[in-house]
């Protein structure tokens, strides 16, 4: 039995574990609630509550947990981040490269061909048939039965000019896009110092919560001795 008030053990025996104000405080992960509650109960199990009645203790516990748990929940979430003790440099850069290229080729070509052609032909022919002379070809000589003179004169002149013009246009457009990722990891500094600094960051959050609840208890342990007002001292059980 408690010397001044009731021990947490006695409160739980009378009211049960669910009635000491640990059932509805905010917590980062509901699965951790029974783990934390058991640690709190085991730590203060033999200590006397710091309030006059169980209902006052229940209210004080509930109020205290609602006040301190929002900050501790953030610590829980931060502690869940996996960190490498010797990693001090972790830089990643991402670059996007986009380019447009347009090329245009213009070409003009012109060819001209000029030609002059001149042809001249002269032709003369005579056909003479001679039997007994009957007709005179000339006044004083040359007789023939018949005679035929053919004279032809032809001349052809030609000029030719040929012009050819060709225009060529060639346009090409090229679009390029790419992504480059550069990552640098490692550490800078003295390894033992980095390890020591990493050890300093290790925190037992459950134990810090328990320490924050110290004000709810008397800070004394029960000896199971009964206080005798008549003799003004404690009567300890046999064996003490």
Phi, psi of 79 (to 5 degrees): -70, -20
CA gap 79, 192 in Å, rounded? 22
Domain parsing of the chain, residue ranges? 8-83+201-235, 98-176
Please write the tens of the pLDDT for every residue from 161-173. Answer: 767 776 767 777 7
SS3 state at 13 = helix
CA gap 85, 196 in Å, rounded? 9
pTM of the model: 0.51
Write the CB contacts of 196 (distance below 8 Å, at least 6 apart in sequence). none
Q: In the prediction, which pLDDT does 227 show? A: 47
DSSP state of 134: -
The counts of H helices and E strands in the chain are 5, 8
Phi, psi of 27 (to 5 degrees): -145, 145
Please write the tens of the pLDDT for every residue from 121-133. Answer: 666 666 655 554 5
């Amino acid at each position: 039995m408690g010397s001044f008030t009731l021990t947490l053990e006695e409160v739980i025996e009378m009211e049960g574990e669910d009635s000491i104000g640990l059932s509805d405080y905010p917590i980062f992960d509901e699965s951790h609630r029974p783990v934390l509650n058991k640690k709190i109960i085991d730590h203060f199990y033999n200590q006397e509550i710091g309030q006059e009645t169980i209902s006052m203790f229940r209210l004080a516990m509930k109020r205290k947990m609602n006040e301190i748990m929002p900050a501790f929940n953030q610590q829980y979430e931060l502690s869940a981040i996996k960190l490498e003790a010797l990693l001090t440099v972790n830089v990643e850069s991402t670059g996007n490269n986009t380019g447009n290229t347009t090329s245009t080729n213009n070409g003009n070509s012109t060819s001209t061909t000029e030609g002059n052609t001149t042809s001249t032909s002269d032709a003369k022919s005579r056909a003479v048939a001679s039997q007994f002379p009957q007709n005179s070809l000339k006044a004083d000589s040359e007789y023939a039965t018949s005679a035929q003179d053919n004279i032809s004169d032809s001349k052809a002149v030609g000029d030719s000019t040929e012009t050819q013009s060709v225009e060529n246009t060639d346009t090409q457009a090229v679009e390029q896009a790419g992504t480059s990722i550069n990552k640098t990891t490692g550490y800078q500094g003295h390894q033992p110092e980095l390890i020591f600094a990493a050890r300093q960051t290790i925190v037992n959050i459950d134990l810090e919560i328990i320490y924050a609840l110290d004000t709810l208890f008397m800070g004394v342990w029960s000896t199971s001795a009964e206080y005798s007002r008549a003799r003004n001292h404690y009567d300890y059980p046999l064996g003490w």
